[in-house]
Amino acid sequence: MTDTTTKAPAAAGRGPVPLPAAVARLLIAVGAVGTIASTFLSWTWTPDFPGDLTFYGYPAGLQILALVGGALTLLFGLTLWNVKGLRWLNPANATSPVLLTALSAFAVCWFTGIAIAVDLGGLVNLDPGGFVAMAASALPVVGALALPHPAPGTGVRGYLTKPQQPRPGKLSPLAERGIITAGTAIALVAFTYGIGIDNDASETFIGFLLLLVFAAWGLMHTGLVDRFATISAQHKAFASTLAFVAAVVFPFTQSDDHNANVGVNILIFATVALGLNIVVGLTGLLDLGYVAFLGVGAYAAALVSGSEYSRFSGVHFPFWAAALTGMAASLVFGVLIGAPTLRLRGDYLAIVTLGFGEIFRITVNNLDGDSGPNITRGPNGITQIPDLNIFGFNLGEAHDIGGFTLGRFANYLFLMLIVTAIVVLVFTRASDSRIGRSWIAIREDETAATAMGINGFRVKLVAFALGASLAGLAGTVMAHVNYSVNPQPYQFAGAAPPNSAFLLAAVVLGGMGTVSGPLLGASVLYLVPEKLQFLQNYELFAFGIALILLMRFRPEGIIANRRRQLEFHETGQLDVPAQATLSDDPAVTKAGA
């Protein structure tokens, strides 16, 4: 008897595929094309919805995000058809990247449809393009779920389990640098788009987050993120330089100086988080009052920077002297607090540092001339701090450079880029040094490290003092950016950053012990409340939910330190053998040597 079963094109390494799988792939392609086409239609008849989705042939707002999601779905869907030239996007020919990218478009389209109905009063406000987008974006999800199950018997977990990737081929150094350049450019475009979303367009920013989360999740399942991280590590100097150049280019892409202000604040908090990362991430000391060191640096700089409300109003140090004053004051406080307390461990140390943070805030609140000496002006703070003037360049004035007008906050952004580069250099050099390896040894097992001859108290005191001085450096810039300092922000938890809970969450969320982790964590934790104004009354609740989810699904943080990844996962769950993974950690390699 002749077999008349229709066969679909063979996927790489799978042989003939039954018809249902071919239909599933067709659903993915048709749904992705339909999603892309729907973005050129009107989704609602009224321009009252953020982004004005009433135009035909001109995607805007959430339609642009749906277009990107649909394009990613189509691109990864085509990898299942073994399209020549796309195999590198999905080397394992896995289902999960296709499902996750399909979910990115699905989440954006369905969120938009529901948001239009809720904001404008019913589904009647949806134009045909909105219904087409919702229907078309559902097809790739159905198609991905209809494909052969990647791990039969595991349920949903099988679809969301990261597949084992084949060993990547060797690329030329030029090609690897090209990949780093492309990845950096994509990151710059994504960040620029996200920060440029209007604060009143919360719906657009939520759609941006949905697309970003699912698309990044899908890229991680393809192995591209790990491959990019490996290549960047091999060309560390080139990748760091390119990231710095991208940050320099950012102000030239913004027409609103407010966005540059957001960028400045992100860099300030990221710099402070990097200092805290020395204490928490490398040394393993739980510091719950770290924001006080930021306040010490800010107040010290404010007192000597020429403010007429300063107790020393006749003193006006240049910036370099004010920065050194802020760093020195924070370092002294770090030593004074650390010397008697660092013999404590665990929860006891956390309680002492929490107490120090509260004592600092209460003290500067009472130094108002009534409850104590008139030094900080109490709740009123020190105001009218003059803008910085560095080598005749007034950072408070707008400047025209190459046809672009850079406002006040753009000038301070460039200054903070230099400060951040210095802090990153200090962090990396310290972590790779002998004392950095001592910090890691103390974090892993203080008793064993002490038995091996490491002076635990001295090593921890150096970490505490260095972290405090870096926070003080950031505080000197923050005082000038904000024109004033007051006691309100310097508390453990508050309605807005900076606060110790925010800084600690940035380190844990981004990835303890890494350089880029706190930078990413601070960016996310500052940008989300800034764009989602309705979360202001629920910020701590949202932080709690985010940290619970993170601890459940990725306890090592978004950007994982390889050593911590081994601590939280079994060897079989990693993409590389344990021995190879250990060799990627410079601290382990040097310790083994």
283 in a domain, yes or no? yes
Characterise 510 by phi-psi region: left (phi > 0), alpha (psi -120 to 50), beta (else): alpha
- Among 465, 491, 517, give the residue marking a domain's end: 491
Question: 44: domain CATH number?
Answer: 1.20.1440
> Mind listing the pLDDT tens digit for each residue in 44-95?
988 888 888 888 888 988 999 999 999 999 999 888 887 777 888 888 888 8
**Number of CB atoms found within 10 A of residue 399's CB:** 14
Asked if residue 439 is part of any domain, the answer here is yes
- What share of residues in the chain are helix, strand, coil (percent, to 5)? 65, 5, 30
Number of domains in the chain: 3
Same structural domain for residues 127 and 26?
yes
Q: What was the pLDDT predicted at 589?
A: 40
209 and 274 share a domain?
Answer: no
> Do 209 and 284 fall within a single domain?
no
Rounded to whole angstroms, the Cα distance separating 209 from 336 reads: 43
Residue where a domain stops, chosen among 432, 457, 491: 491
Within this chain, do residues 64 and 148 fall inside the same structural domain, yes or no?
yes
- Domain range enclosing 149: 14-160+199-221
Q: Are residues 300 and 394 in the same domain?
A: yes
Sign of the dihedral through C-alpha 258, 263, 269, 271: negative
Specify whether 266 is located in the same domain as 211: no
Q: Indicate whether 171 belongs to any domain.
A: no
> Which tokens in the block code for residue 130?
């909105």
Residue 355 lies in a domain: yes
Check: CB of residue 300 under 8 Å from CB of residue 472: yes
Q: Which two tokens stand for residue 241?
A: 């330089």
Q: Which residues of 502-539 are buried (b: 16+ CB within 10 A; e: fewer)?
A: bbbbbbbbbbbbbbbbbbbbbbbbbbbbbbbeeeeeeb
Closest CA to 483 of 282, 290, 307: 307
Phi and psi for 17 in degrees, rounded to 5? -115, 135
Q: Which helix (H) or strand (E) holds 144?
A: helix 128-146
Both structure tokens of 427 = 């962090």
Q: Whole-angstrom Cα distance, residue 170 to residue 420?
A: 33
Q: What is the predicted pLDDT for the residue at 516?
A: 83
What is the predicted pLDDT for the residue at 181? 92
* Residue among 97, 101, 35 nearest 62 (CA): 35
Examine the domain organization and report whether 216 and 302 are in the same domain.
no
CA distances from 541 to 201, 439, 538, 555 (A): 22, 33, 5, 19
Whether residue 351 sits in one domain with residue 419: yes
61 shares a domain with 129: yes
Residue from 402, 417, 424 nearest 253 by CA: 402
Inside any domain, residue 38: yes
DSSP letter string over 41-103?
S-SBS-TTSTT----SS---THHHHHHHHHHHHHHHHHHTTT-TT-GGGSTT--SHHHHHHHH
On whether residue 214 sits in a domain, the answer given is yes
Residue 8 resides in a domain: no
Cα–Cα dist 145/23, whole Å = 12
Query: How much is the pLDDT for 17?
Result: 44
pLDDT for position 6: 38
Same domain assignment for residues 268 and 131: no
Q: What is the pTM of this model?
A: 0.81
pLDDT score of 81: 83
Same domain, 211 and 279: no
Residue 178: its pLDDT value, please? Answer: 92
Same domain flag for 101 and 46? yes
Would you state the pLDDT for residue 574?
46
For residue 401, which phi and psi values (nearest 5 degrees)?
-130, 115
Which stretches of the chain score pLDDT less than 50?
1-18, 571-593
By DSSP bridging, strand 15-17 and strand 389-390 are unpaired
Last residue of some domain: 491, 518, 546? 491
In a domain, 549, yes or no: no
Q: What is the mean pLDDT of the chain?
A: 82
Q: What is the pLDDT of residue 555?
A: 72
